[in-house]
């Protein structure tokens, strides 16, 4: 594909995800709750991967790897997050964000559109560049870098899945109310789910990076890693947890924030 054709492909994909987000925004205005967006996020990435497939002629093995790995990750995570939203209700982070904007005179609908759904459309499209650009070029065939990326993505899916399962089991036990989970994967990183996410998308990038077009997708995993570690991930999550769990400050001192590492000795 030529550069104008690739630009047209990405531009149309951006338009598609904006339309999807507008539909979800309409649902949010009816529910008066925007926090289901977290569950829609991974499913939106799979949607763009599938939407790209019939409009490109990439290497079949590479395309298969990108779509299926993205699909397994997206369905598992989307189901997990939507189930949590249905069970627990509105996410306080999003409630605070929207209330902050409505206090400035904006309506709920306008606040949700400008500060949740439209930004999420752009961020989602940017993050999943590997599964879009990785499908463009027919050559070369998947090599050692691509298979290494596939292995990294599988590890990431497993790491994130185990971490989420351990946290869910911990929260279901009434004896753990107010306590901090510091066993299993949570002993080595305070955010195994975020670390797993990063592994998945760096892995998908390595699959795409063997192609000329796919190399430019590096902006996706860089942005995701920045978001998880420096912007809306660790910082916002830990701010809320520290207030509700007295032992969390000590947990922070001895446990790696992101990359798994043996805990520091007291």
Domain residue extents for the chain = 3-254
Whole-structure pTM value: 0.94
Q: What's the confidence (pLDDT) of residue 266?
A: 64
Cβ atoms 200, 73 nearer than 8 A: yes
Cβ atoms 45, 220 nearer than 8 A: no
Q: What's the confidence (pLDDT) of residue 79?
A: 96
How many residues are given for the chain?
266
Q: Which residues of the chain fall below pLDDT 50?
A: none
Q: Report the distance separating Cα 249 and Cα 241, nearest Å.
A: 9
To the nearest 10°, report the CA torsion of 171, 176, 178, 182. -80
Q: What's the confidence (pLDDT) of residue 64?
A: 97
How many helices and strands, by DSSP H and E, does the chain display?
A: 12, 0
Other C-beta atoms closer than 10 Å to the C-beta of 64 total: 13
| Degrees, nearest 5: CA angle 189-168-86 | 125
Q: What's the confidence (pLDDT) of residue 92?
A: 82
Q: Report the distance separating Cα 6 and Cα 12, nearest Å.
A: 10
Q: Which residue has the tokens 């409009």?
A: 55
Q: What's the confidence (pLDDT) of residue 230?
A: 84
Choose among 220, 209, 199, 198: nearest CA to 155: 199
Q: What's the confidence (pLDDT) of residue 123?
A: 96
């Amino acid at each position: 594909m030529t550069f104008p054709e690739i630009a047209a492909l990405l531009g149309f994909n951006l338009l598609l995800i904006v339309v999807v987000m507008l539909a979800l925004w309409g649902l949010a205005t009816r529910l008066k709750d925007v926090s289901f967006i977290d569950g829609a996020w991974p499913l939106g990435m799979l949607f763009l991967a599938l939407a790209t497939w019939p409009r490109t002629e990439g290497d079949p093995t590479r395309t298969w790897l990108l779509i299926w790995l993205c699909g397994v990750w997206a369905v598992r995570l989307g189901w997990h997050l939507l189930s949590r939203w249905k069970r627990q209700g509105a996410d306080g982070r999003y409630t605070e964000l929207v209330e902050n904007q409505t206090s400035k005179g904006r309506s709920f609908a306008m606040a949700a559109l400008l500060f949740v759904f439209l930004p999420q459309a752009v961020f989602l499209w940017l993050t999943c560049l590997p599964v879009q650009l990785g499908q463009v070029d027919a050559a070369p065939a998947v090599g050692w870098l691509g298979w290494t990326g596939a292995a990294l993505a599988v590890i990431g899916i497993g790491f994130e899945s185990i971490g989420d399962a351990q946290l869910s089991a911990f929260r279901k036990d009434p004896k753990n109310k107010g306590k901090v989970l510091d066993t299993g994967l949570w002993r080595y990183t305070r955010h195994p789910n975020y670390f797993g996410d990063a592994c998945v998308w760096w892995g998908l990038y390595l699959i795409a990076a063997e192609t000329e077009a796919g190399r430019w997708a590096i902006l996706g995993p860089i942005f995701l890693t920045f978001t998880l570690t420096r912007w809306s991930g660790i910082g916002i999550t830990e701010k809320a947890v520290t207030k509700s769990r007295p032992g969390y400050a000590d947990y922070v001192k001895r446990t790696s924030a992101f990359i798994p590492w043996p805990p520091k000795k007291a």
